[in-house]
A and B are shown apart, each in its own frame.
Chain A
C-alpha cells in the first residue's frame, strides 16, 4: 500500500489535511478581442510587463505560468522568456519592450527582428501584469520559553490578494487577441494553544494554476466562443 492510499483511507487524516489549508476564493475570466488558435510547432513567450512602468510581477510567478502552459492535455510549446529576450536584444528590455500592439509594426522593421521571431516560431506573446500582496491581517500571538519548556498562545490571521492580468498578443497578426484575468484572495490562520497550527492559504499558487489553465483554453480556443 502506498503512502497516498493509506492517507485516503483514513478519514481523520484527510480531514486534518484539508483543515491545514486556509480559505481561498478565486475568479478567472477572459475577454476575447480576436480569434485565436495555434499550429503545430508554434510557441508562446510569457513576459512580465516592464518594471519601468511600475509592474511588480514576480519572477517565480512567470516561471510558474511557463510550467503551467507547458503541461496538460492542451500543453503549449513555451519559449523561456530570458532566452527570447536575449535573442532579440535590445528590443525586449524593460526600457525598450513594446507596451502596446501599435508599436509592433515599428519593432518588426528593426534588422533581424522578424527573422529571430520566425526562427523561434513565436505565435503569441503573453504579457503578465500584477502581483501578490498582503492586504489585511490581525490577531495576536505570543510565545514564551522557560526552564520547564515553552509554548504559544493566541490567534493570528492574514489575507493575501493575488491579482494578475495576462494580455495575449498575436504576433502573426500584430494585434491583441484578448486578456485573461484572475483574482484570488486567500486568508491564512494561525491558532495556537501551546503549539501553533498554521492554516496557510496560497493564493499565488492558485492564481498561477487558474490563469495558466485559462490561458491554454484561450489560446487553443477550445472553449467554443467568446466569453467575458
Chain B
C-alpha cells in the first residue's frame, strides 16, 4: 500500500502549493488625493489562484488568498481621502463618490531557478485598473506591470516564491502611488465634481435682501 502510494507520487511528479498571507505596506510618505472613491473588486480578483505546470518538472499552485483585496483596500486608504467598498450590485450613481475604481489581474507569470539559470524566483503581475466616473462611464483603463524577485540562498523555494510575489505586489503599490492620479485623472474628476457642486449650491442660494 505504502509503496503503491510512493510510486503514484513519483509518477505524478512534485507539486508545490504557495499561499500568500495578506501583505501590509508601510504608511507611504505622500499627500492624499482629495477625492472620494469607490472600490469594486470582482470575486476572481479577491480570490486569485494561479496554477501552472513547469513542463517535465513541477506543478505549482499560487493562491493569493485575500492578498489583493487587502493590499488595494489599504493602499487606496492611504492614497485617497475617502474609500467606500462597493459590491457588484451597487450602482455608482447612488453613491457619493468622485470615481469608481475596479482592479483586476490581467496576467501572472513566474520563473523558477531552473528556468532562469539563477538562484532567484521572479514574479510578474499585470493588473488592469479601470476607472469610472460617478455616472458609471469608463474614464480610464490603465495597465500596471509589477515585478518582484527573491533569491533562494536564504529561503526555501516556496518561501522565495512567496517573497517574490509580495515584492511584486509592493512594486505595484509603489507604481500606483506615483502614477495612478496622473494616469487616470481621478483628482481632476474630483475637482470637476466639486466645482459642479459649488455651482449648484450658488444657483440654489436665495438672492440676498440687501435692499
Chain A residues at the B interface, C-beta cutoff of 8 Å:
51-52, 56, 58-60, 86-91, 93-96, 110-113, 116
Contact = CB atoms under 8 A, between A and B. Distances in A.
A93 B167 CA distance: 9
Given A90-B177, A90-B178, A111 B29 contact: yes
Contact of B28 (A58, A90, A94): A90
B174 interface: yes
Interface residues of B, number: 23
B151 A58 contact: yes
A25 B174 CA distance: 42
A96 B173 CA distance: 11
B29 A95 contact: no
Given A59-B154, A93-B170, A96-B178, A86 B149 contact: no
Nearest to B177: A90
Contact of A87 (B26, B154, B177): B26
A116 B27 CA distance: 12
Interface in B140-195: 147, 149, 151, 153-154, 167, 170-171, 173-175, 177-178
A44 B63 CA distance: 38
Contact of A60 (B31, B154, B177): B154
A151 B118 CA distance: 32
Interface of B: 25-31, 118-120, 147, 149, 151, 153-154, 167, 170-171, 173-175, 177-178
Given A52-B147, A111-B31, A89 B171 contact: no
A contact patch SS: loop
Nearest to A116: B29
A28 to B, nearest CB: 23
A90 B153 contact: no
Given A58-B151, A89-B25, 11 more contacts: A58-B153, A59-B153, A60-B154, A89-B29, A90-B174, A90-B177, A94-B167, A95-B171, A95-B175, A110-B30, A116-B29
The winner among B26, B31, B167 for most chain A CB atoms within 10 A is: B26
A51 B118 CA distance: 13
Nearest to B146: A95
Contacts of A112: 29
B124 to A, nearest CB: 12
B27 A56 contact: no
Contacts of B171: 93-95
Report, nearest first, the 5 A-B pairs whose CB atoms are least far apart.
A90-B174, A112-B29, A89-B26, A93-B174, A86-B26
Contacts of A116: 29
Contacts of A59: 151, 153-154
Contacts of B119: 58
A182 B33 CA distance: 46
Contact of A111 (B30, B167, B173, B178): B30
A81 to B, nearest CB: 14
Given A111-B29, A112-B29, A116-B29, A90 B173 contact: yes
Contacts of A60: 153-154
Contacts of B147: 52, 94
A137 B97 CA distance: 64
A89 B27 contact: yes
